[in-house]
Structure 1
Amino acid sequence: MKTNRYCILMGNKKESPKINSIKWGKIKTSDGNTYKDAKLYPGGSRKWDWNETGTCHDPGIQPADVEELLNNNAQVIILSKGFHERLQVCDKTIDFLKENEKTFHILETGKAVKKYNELREKYPIGALIHSTC
């Protein structure tokens, strides 16, 4: 059986991919992907397409945006607000995370990436990373 080195098991939890680099408009992850905006979660990552949930800068990140992270067993959530912090987070999203008893951090993108990479080997973590404004 071939082992995917990016799906390293942490007990019974899969490790989230590392963010190898980020610059304006470009996120590179350890699972070999490049995104403008990314969803990262235990065992994988994918493009974060705002059109799927109607996300826009204001009112911001929707509960449906983080639901996939929780469905992939993320216990800690990182939400990035962009490099200039123009992306907001809906109050409903904060309430949703509290109701689901998740630890979460809402940070400027550079700080969000740093926090995510620090915590990803310790906890089942999910993140929404916005690479522009």
Structure 2
Amino acid sequence: MSSPEISSLSWGLMKVKGCSSSYKDCKVWPGGSRAWDWRETGTNHYPGVQPADVEEVLKKGIELLVIGRGMSEALQVPSTTLDFLKQKGIEVKVLQTQKAVEEYNRLAAEGAKVGGVFHSTC
């Protein structure tokens, strides 16, 4: 199963190829995607992406995770989350969201087992 291409990104709107829904923030993995609802884990820009935000994507069998911090990189990624990913043996790339989507799509096109969590505003 391959990771789906993110077909478009603009402020507050992301579309994933093969999915009829559009997202403000999203999670993607080999074979699927869904909205990333920060309320599920109490996530805010600070302290940022929590291990609980990425656990679902890790369970989908990824080897690499791309995190999009927002268009202005307002979303933080604390060392606790990076340490958690390292302990799980997952390579992680943390980038501004537009660059993160480009990197994710490149890796997906190469057939990598890549997942992502992306914030499409601030």
TM-score (norm 2): 0.95
**1:102 counterpart = 2:102:** no
- Root-mean-square deviation (CA), in Å? 0.8
Alignment partners' CA distance in 2, 1:73 and 1:16: 11
**1:87 counterpart = 2:75:** yes
Alignment partners' CA distance in 1, 2:4 and 2:26: 11
**1:120 counterpart = 2:108:** yes
CA apart distance, 1:98: 0.5
Letter in 2 for 1:130: H
Give SS of 1:74's match.
coil
Aligned counterpart, 2:99: 111
Alignment partners' CA distance in 1, 2:48 and 2:78: 5
Q: Which moves more between the two structures, 111-120 or 89-98?
A: 89-98
Alpha-carbon deviations, 1:96-126, whole Å to 9, x = none?
Answer: 0110111110000010000000001321111
CA apart distance, 1:16: 1.3
Aligned counterpart, 1:5: none
Alignment partners' CA distance in 1, 2:18 and 2:41: 25
Q: How does 1:52-67 map to 2 (within 5 A)?
A: 52-67=40-55
TM-score (norm 1): 0.88
Give SS of 2:66's match.
strand
Q: Which has the larger radius of gyration?
A: 1
Percent identity over the alignment is 47
Alpha-carbon deviations, 1:1-58, whole Å to 9, x = none?
Answer: xxxxxxxxxxxxx111110000000001102231000000111000000011111000
Give SS of 1:54's match.
coil
Q: Which structure's relative contact order is higher, taking Cα pairs within 8 Å and 6+ residues apart?
A: 2
Aligned counterpart, 2:5: 18
May I ask how many residue pairs the two structures share in their alignment? 120
Gaps of 5+ in 2: none
